[in-house]
Amino acid sequence: MDRTALPAELAHFVQQALARGTYQSEEELMAEAVRLLKASVSRQEAVQQPNGSTKDTPPQTPDEYVQAIAQALDTGDPVRARTLALAGAEHYPQHTELRTYAQVLAPPTATVVPATPASRAAVTANHAWLTAHWEAYRGHWIALRAGQLLHASPSLEDVVAHVGEVRGRGILLTKIPA
């Protein structure tokens, strides 16, 4: 075996292993290395996914992508789920389910939205009200708009029933811990 063709660290390792007498010859050492590599491949095959692909093998069909994303999510691997979703949507842009996966799991985007003096004042007023009245409303859901209390109740449903639709009306809806 021509050790000069090996990376320096590997050549050093071979030299050390032979010097220790662990292996009688370079051929024996290579045979052991091949055996270890084969064992490693067997271990990889043992963790193959149900659809036949391994973690390192990209899915081959839209359904395989969907299955692999679901598996990544279910096993607590959101990074892999995102990677698969984006790759799947890129490979199969007409596939509705993959498009939804990619849209939902894509990296977030952040955009500056101009605030108005009124919206800034509302946040400040809500903060001031809560700082002043926090203790009195422990255990309650409260509906607050620009520092004005609209309703308070232990029940969220009760608060919503009193103030009506809360979406898009600038009403702060929050539960104060008991």
Give the binding site for other proteins (CB under 8 A): 69-70, 73-74, 76, 78-79, 82, 97, 100-101, 103-115, 119-120, 123-124, 126-127, 130, 138-139, 156, 160, 166-168, 170-175, 177-178
DSSP for 74-87, written as a single string: HTT-HHHHHHHHHH
Q: CB 94 → other proteins: shortest distance, Å?
A: 17
Q: CB 118 → other proteins: shortest distance, Å?
A: 12
Count CA atoms closer than 13 A to 72's CA, side-chain side: 21
Q: Cα–Cα distance between 79 and 97 in angstroms, integer? A: 19
Q: Is the dihedral of CA 86, 91, 96, 97 positive or negative?
A: negative
If the CB atoms of residues 94 and 109 are measured against other proteins, the closer one turns out to be 109
Amino acid residing at 50: P
Q: Cα–Cα distance between 59 and 67 in angstroms, integer? A: 9
If the CB atoms of residues 14 and 140 are measured against other proteins, the closer one turns out to be 140
If the CB atoms of residues 27 and 90 are measured against other proteins, the closer one turns out to be 90
Q: CB 41 → other proteins: shortest distance, Å?
A: 32
Query: Which residues lie below 8 Å from residue 139, measured CB to CB, with a gap of 6+?
Result: 154, 176, 177, 178
If the CB atoms of residues 14 and 141 are measured against other proteins, the closer one turns out to be 141
Q: CB 55 → other proteins: shortest distance, Å?
A: 19
Instruction: Output the CA torsion 135→140→142→148 (10° steps).
Output: -40
If the CB atoms of residues 14 and 69 are measured against other proteins, the closer one turns out to be 69
Q: CB 58 → other proteins: shortest distance, Å?
A: 20
22 three-state secondary structure: coil
